[in-house]
């Protein structure tokens, strides 16, 4: 079946470095993508989202890039901090011909570890 | 409350027993979701509520799983005759409205209920 998956299960970086977390998706009908951060013992927390009619969106220290040609999504974190250590999930919603609800398909997750 | 509240935070039960997991969404949020996160896995959609109705329950893994929502607020996920493969973290999320527009419409997740079936 169609799914959203991640290339790298773990990523270790030094504090201050930039981090890039990648995600591949297979559903060409995907219309809306979200990155979530999940810290140990907590629920996922929204980071940033992007719609399929865009290829880049920036937030505070984070940038999401979308390449629809190769069905690839990435999350860039600038000046990574120890507090950024968590599991990062990409998620997608296919276009539903109108308003969609939060039926997300999640990737497997990438563990980001930031060393001081 | 300030966020999505779930109880119990941890539940250990014996195989074959029934369990109930509770979710209190953010006040005013009309949409409520249940997801399941198994060890080492991503999150799987279980069911979506809009108000007290469940227009999408396609993710419920078997007829042992059921959920209800009352008063457009609290939801209960019930698992009957639990099996070991039901062990997981069950996450509840709510959103202000079901229609996702670019930007908010984001889901707010609770901290989950960890279920262990012995």
**Residue A8 in this model has a pLDDT that exceeds 70:** no
Q: B64: which 2 tokens?
A: 């042992």
Q: Please state, for a pLDDT cut of 90, what percent of chain B lies above it.
A: 76
β pairing state of A72-77 and A105-106: unpaired
User: What is the pLDDT at residue A29?
Assistant: 80
Q: What angle is formed at CA A31 by the lines to CA A25 and CA B38, rounded to 5 degrees?
A: 50
Which backbone phi and psi does A22 adopt, to 5 degrees? -110, 155
**Residue A110 in this model has a pLDDT that exceeds 60:** yes
Query: What is the C-alpha to C-alpha distance for residues B33 and B27, in angstroms, rounded to an integer?
Result: 14
Question: Model confidence at B112, in pLDDT bands (50, 70, 90)?
Answer: very high
Q: Helices (DSSP H) in B11-77: which residue ranges?
A: none
Question: Model confidence at B1, in pLDDT bands (50, 70, 90)?
Answer: low
Q: Does B42 touch chain A (CB under 8 A)?
A: yes
User: What is the pLDDT at residue A78?
Assistant: 97
User: What is the pLDDT at residue A99?
Assistant: 56
The closest CB to that of B100, out of A42, A99, A105, belongs to A99
User: What is the pLDDT at residue B32?
Assistant: 94
Q: Are the beta carbons of B22 and B76 closer than 8 angstroms?
A: yes
Instruction: Please report the beta strands in chain B, taking only residues with DSSP state E, as ranges in sequence order.
Output: 5-7, 10-13, 19-24, 31-37, 43-50, 53-56, 65-69, 75-79, 88-95, 108-109, 113-117
Q: Does A1 touch chain B (CB under 8 A)?
A: no
CB contact under 8 A, B56 and A43: no
User: What is the pLDDT at residue A27?
Assistant: 83
Residue A51 C-alpha, separation from nearest chain B C-alpha, in angstroms: 7
Q: Does A42 touch chain B (CB under 8 A)?
A: yes
Query: What is the C-alpha to C-alpha distance for residues A110 and A89, in angstroms, rounded to an integer?
Result: 7
User: What is the pLDDT at residue B109?
Assistant: 95
User: What is the pLDDT at residue B82?
Assistant: 98
């Amino acid at each position: 079946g169609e799914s959203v998956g991640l290339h790298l299960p773990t990523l270790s970086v030094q504090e201050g470095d930039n981090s890039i977390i990648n995600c591949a998706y297979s559903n060409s009908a995907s219309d809306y993508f979200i990155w979530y951060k999940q810290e140990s013992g907590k629920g996922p927390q929204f980071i940033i989202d992007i719609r399929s009619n865009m290829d880049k969106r920036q937030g505070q220290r984070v940038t999401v890039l979308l390449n629809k040609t190769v069905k690839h999504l990435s999350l860039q974190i600038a000046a990574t901090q120890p507090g950024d250590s968590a599991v990062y999930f990409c998620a997608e919603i296919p276009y539903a011909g109108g308003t969609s609800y939060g039926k997300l398909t999640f990737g497997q997750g990438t563990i980001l570890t930031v060393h001081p | 409350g300030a966020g999505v509240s779930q109880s119990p935070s941890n539940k250990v039960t014996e195989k074959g027993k029934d369990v109930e997991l509770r979710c209190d969404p953010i006040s005013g949020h009309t949409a409520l979701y249940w997801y399941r996160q198994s060890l080492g896995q991503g999150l799987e959609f279980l069911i979506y509520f809009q108000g007290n109705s469940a227009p999408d329950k396609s993710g419920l893994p078997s007829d042992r799983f059921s959920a209800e929502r009352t008063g457009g607020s609290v939801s209960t996920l019930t698992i009957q005759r639990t099996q070991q493969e039901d062990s997981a973290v069950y996450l509840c999320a709510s959103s202000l409205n079901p229609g996702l527009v670019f930007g908010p419409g984001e889901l707010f997740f609770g901290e989950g209920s960890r279920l262990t079936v012995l």
